[in-house]
């Protein structure tokens, strides 16, 4: 079997604009568990950076406090593996600013792959995305919090990834679970 090279993959966890269960656009709160678990999954699968997207100053401060504890403070001495994972986190004001950051690093704008559990058209499968990774181009895998990404973001996507389907009709995973499953499906033993 041909060994694949590690994809040039970045991840974004969007807290605004997302929707609530009524479909209204909101800014969601950052959760400690999402930061830890998504960063650890990203490190495991070779993701380059994890962007936490929020325009809210108090939420940015919270992310910085949590990340600093584990990368510079007592947590860095307590658990070096957690430090390695949380060092992947960058805070950005918007998805557009994360895209600009990747473009500055890679000298090319990344392709965006949005995730959505809701019914939206034009989905692309995991296998097709894996094939696209072979180009070496940068890709940004985008996850929404709350009840998912706002339609205004989905409309800007280069690709919308097919949803995770289990063996039941239930479809309400936590974002950290969905991120882990998707990374495993997108990057199977290639790295």
Boundaries of every domain in the chain: 8-186
**Interval 54-113: pLDDT, tens:** 999 999 999 999 999 999 999 999 999 999 999 999 999 999 999 999 999 999 999 999
* Measured CA distances, 72 to 38, 45, 93, 144, 156 (Å): 19, 23, 23, 28, 36
User: Would you state the torsion angle of the CA atoms of residues 73, 100, 33, 46, taken in this order, to the nearest 10 degrees?
Assistant: -90
> Alpha-carbon distance 124 to 122, whole Å?
7
**Interval 170-188: pLDDT, tens:** 888 999 999 999 999 999 7
**Interval 29-71: pLDDT, tens:** 999 999 999 999 999 999 999 999 999 999 999 999 999 999 9
What is this structure's pTM? 0.95
CATH no. of 8-186: 3.40.1280.10
> Alpha-carbon distance 190 to 130, whole Å?
10
Q: What 3-state class would DSSP assign to 58?
A: helix
At 82, list the tokens.
């957690």
């Amino acid at each position: 079997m041909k060994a694949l090279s590690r994809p040039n993959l970045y991840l974004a966890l969007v807290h605004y604009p997302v929707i609530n269960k009524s479909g209204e656009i909101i800014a969601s709160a950052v959760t400690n568990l999402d930061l830890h678990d998504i960063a650890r999954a990203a490190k495991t699968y070779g993701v380059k950076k994890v962007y936490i997207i929020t325009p809210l100053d108090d939420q940015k401060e919270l992310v910085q406090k949590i990340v600093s504890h584990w990368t510079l403070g007592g947590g860095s001495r307590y658990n070096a593996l957690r430090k390695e994972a949380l060092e992947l986190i960058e805070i950005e004001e918007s998805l557009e600013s994360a895209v600009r950051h990747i473009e500055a690093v890679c000298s090319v704008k990344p392709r965006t792959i949005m995730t959505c559990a809701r019914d939206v058209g034009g989905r692309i499968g995991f296998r097709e995305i894996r094939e696209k990774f072979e180009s070496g181009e940068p890709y940004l895998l985008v996850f929404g919090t709350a009840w998912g990404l706002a339609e205004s973001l989905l409309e800007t996507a280069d690709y919308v990834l097919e949803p995770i389907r289990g063996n039941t009709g239930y479809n309400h995973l936590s974002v950290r679970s969905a991120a882990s499953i998707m990374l495993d499906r997108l990057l199977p033993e290639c790295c």
